[in-house]
Amino acid sequence: MIVSKSDFIKSSSAVDQCPKDDKWDFAFIGRSNVGKSSLINMLCNRVALAKVSATPGKTQLINHFLINDLFYIVDLPGYGYAKVSKSIKEDFQKIIKSYILERESMACLFVLVDSRHEPQKIDLQFMEFLGENGIPFAIIFTKADKLTEKQLAANLEVYKQKMLEVWEEMPRYFVSSSAHSLGREEILDYIDSVRKELGDA
């Protein structure tokens, strides 16, 4: 897919303030500093469409970017810096939870995971929460340029094994590097295929 147009539409502090749901949302989420803003900018071919932030967790806003006048890329607030309580699964920030559970036009949620790190409890629990609620998602392993091919393959294998303790199969996943534009075509083509499969929002 060629991105010929990307426009910032609005920042919303609640799901009922989001743009009218007549186009599909493809949303991006992850722990702060996972590389979400860089990835969104890379996908949209823009230097600073999404702010590459130096202050993790400061903004709690849902940002909608309209791509090719056809669909939205949605930048969700990061998770993982909020205090984790005993009932962790229920503890994802209210704004994230309500967006995920209530936004009817969300076609796919991309869960970003830093490819350098061991599987993190908060990410695994977040994906379990998605599974339990039937939310369509895919994983994006970010910052692949920071690893050798061998390290990357080893980390992916560890991740897959960990996921398979809970999941029947490894969810759809992508490997990305915003520094090298790796994964760009695959992710955009996937968005295109999901959009075509779903038809009009």
Nearer to ligand GDP, 1 or 50 (CB): 50
Q: Exactly one of 140, 142, 156, 159 binds ligand GDP (CB under 6 A); which one?
A: 142
66 with 6: CB under 8 angstroms?
yes
Q: Is 82 left (phi over 0), alpha (psi -120 to 50) or beta?
A: beta
Q: Does 58 bind ligand GDP (CB under 6 A)?
A: no
d(CA 161, CA 119): 10
Q: Does 34 bind ligand GDP (CB under 6 A)?
A: yes
Closest contact distance (angstroms) between CB of 178 and ligand GDP is 4
Q: Does 63 bind ligand GDP (CB under 6 A)?
A: no
Q: Does 145 bind ligand GDP (CB under 6 A)?
A: yes
Q: Exactly one of 116, 117, 146, 160 binds ligand GDP (CB under 6 A); which one?
A: 146
Q: Where are the alpha helices (DSSP H) in the chain?
A: 36-43, 94-102, 121-132, 149-163, 184-198
d(CA 115, CA 153): 10
Q: Exactly one of 23, 103, 143, 195 binds ligand GDP (CB under 6 A); which one?
A: 143
